[in-house]
């Protein structure tokens, strides 16, 4: 029997689950916590990232009593991110998509590049809370953040960075941003450039299932869990839910309910056209 750890982070709460795989799959909740929020110096609604990591350390410490474990995987909600500076530190707390800094940004982006490009160069729904409009808000409201930024890390990648020190972007979470070209499988660099978003902050994109690194030695000692591998799984929480859904026939649909509910189907290729744009459909990686 092999045992794994799954850190599943939602915008309301997070939990660490132990997963045992033998003839059957069994799960056990080890630790659950409310996702902490905080107002920053700019009066923005943020995720209290240091407290999130404190909760993760508590969870791993509890898990150490029932190990050993093969690996730890992390998934979170989409859209939100942190910016890392040259020293490896967070520039500001990650701002929540529930903050109002994106109000009016979809309209501003449409004026800058045209509504069509926003959808056709990413495949994403035109949703004002998407990462692309959060980044446009930084470009127009707090450009000093870009002046300091070396890397952009979406929430699951930011957690893995805190655990391992490794920098990368996982594919499924990148595809939620509105700045990843799902048709050509690359960052939508021209779109970012034309919105005033610096290209150097985008990191290498890795496939789900990639070993991101090993838990930092200081965290191994602090938690007692040892040199556990940390995995960039299907790190968008919806992508993880869909992957686990037994879609038994072509055209089977899923409903994934969390902070909000999503209805969709699995396709081999993205569909990006006038209909998907006008009906506000989105293409997200799996």
**Using one digit for the tens of pLDDT, what is the confidence trace for 32-89?**
999 999 999 999 999 999 999 999 999 999 999 998 999 999 999 999 999 999 999 9
Q: Let me know: does 202 contact 187? Beta carbons within 8 Å.
A: yes
Catalytic residue among 75, 80, 157, 237: 237
pLDDT score for 280: 93
Q: Quick one: pLDDT at residue 152?
A: 98
Structure tokens that stand for 87 in this block: 């020293």
This prediction has a pTM of 0.96
User: Percentage of residues in the chain with pLDDT exceeding 70?
Assistant: 100
Q: What is the mean pLDDT of residues 108-114?
A: 98
How many Å is the Cα radius of gyration of the chain?
19
Do 75 and 286 form a contact (C-beta atoms < 8 A)? no
Among 79, 76, 63, 80, which Cα is nearest to 20's?
A: 63
Predicted local confidence at residue 67, as pLDDT: 85
Cα–Cα distance, 171 to 262 (Å, whole number): 19
CB 19 within 8 A of CB 4: yes
What is the tens place of the pLDDT at every residue in 179-219?
A: 999 999 999 999 999 999 999 999 999 999 999 999 999 99
Beta strands in 142-185 (DSSP E): 149-154, 169-170, 180-181
Active site residue 22: no
DSSP state of 46: E
Higher pLDDT, 248 or 15: 15
Is the pLDDT at 250 greater than 90? The verdict is no
Task: Please enumerate in sequence order all residues whose Cβ is within 8 A of that of 93, keeping only pairs 6 or more positions apart, or say none.
Answer: 38, 40, 46, 47, 48, 49, 82
Is the predicted pLDDT of residue 146 greater than 90, yes or no?
A: yes
Cross-strand pairs, 142: none
Residue 257 confidence class, pLDDT cut points 50, 70, 90: confident
């Amino acid at each position: 029997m092999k045992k794994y750890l799954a850190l599943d982070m939602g915008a309301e709460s997070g939990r660490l689950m132990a997963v045992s795989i033998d003839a059957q799959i069994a799960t056990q909740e080890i630790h659950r916590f409310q996702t902490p929020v905080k107002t920053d110096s700019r009066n923005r609604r943020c995720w209290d990232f240091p407290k999130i990591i404190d909760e993760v350390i508590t969870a791993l410490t509890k898990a150490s009593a029932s190990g050993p474990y093969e690996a730890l995987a992390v998934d979170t909600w989409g859209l939100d991110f942190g910016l890392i500076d040259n020293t490896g530190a967070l520039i500001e707390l990650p701002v929540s998509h529930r903050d109002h800094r994106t109000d009016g940004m979809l309209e501003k982006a449409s004026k800058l590049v045209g509504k069509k490009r926003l959808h056709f160069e990413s495949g994403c729904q035109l949703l004002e809370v998407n990462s692309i409009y959060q980044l446009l808000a930084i470009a127009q409201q707090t450009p000093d953040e870009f002046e300091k930024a070396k890397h952009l890390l979406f929430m699951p990648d930011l957690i893995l960075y805190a655990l391992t020190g490794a920098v990368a972007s996982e594919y499924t979470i990148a595809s939620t941003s509105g700045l990843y070209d799902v048709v050509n499988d690359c960052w939508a660099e021209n779109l970012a450039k034309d919105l005033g978003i610096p290209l150097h902050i985008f990191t290498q994109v890795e496939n789900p299932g990639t070993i991101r690194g090993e838990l930092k030695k200081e965290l191994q000692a602090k938690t007692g869990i040892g040199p556990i591998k940390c995995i960039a799984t299907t790190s968008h929480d919806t992508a993880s839910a869909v992957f686990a859904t037994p879609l038994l026939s072509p055209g089977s649909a899923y409903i994934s309910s969390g902070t909000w509910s999503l209805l969709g189907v699995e396709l081999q290729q993205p569909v990006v056209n006038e209909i998907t744009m006008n009906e506000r459909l989105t293409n997200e990686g799996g």
